[in-house]
Structure 1
């Protein structure tokens, strides 16, 4: 679903202004880089926190491992069923 709105004299399309100083490609590249950076920072923080917490609690680490493994199997099964049905 695409949304279009007016912002001043610019028409924006999902956050990209068609008549801005930067080209659409440059705007898209900047937005992509910002998203990639934000995701990298969040995932790094989660990884460091998880390692810190789970290294002091081996039993919790085992539980997390089993739960995440079961969730990955469930997601894989769902994707397989969806692929075969669709």
Structure 2
């Protein structure tokens, strides 16, 4: 199995074979957890993924800028 999706009373949880985990509350909040060996190579959706929540709406270095909003109006938390 490359991908598993589980549900409990509060969350839907998607887990990949390489341990990327996406946790969704069913409404507004999505939490993305990545393995330590790839966390410093990520960019794109938003944030520099540096475990500093104060800059989670700033694109990381090397991430291209696109016209319009860079993030949705929903909350995104990266652990």
Q: TM-score, normalised by structure 1?
A: 0.24
Q: Bigger relative contact order, structure 1 or 2, given CA contacts below 8 A and separation 6+?
A: 2
| Larger gyration radius, structure 1 or structure 2 | 1
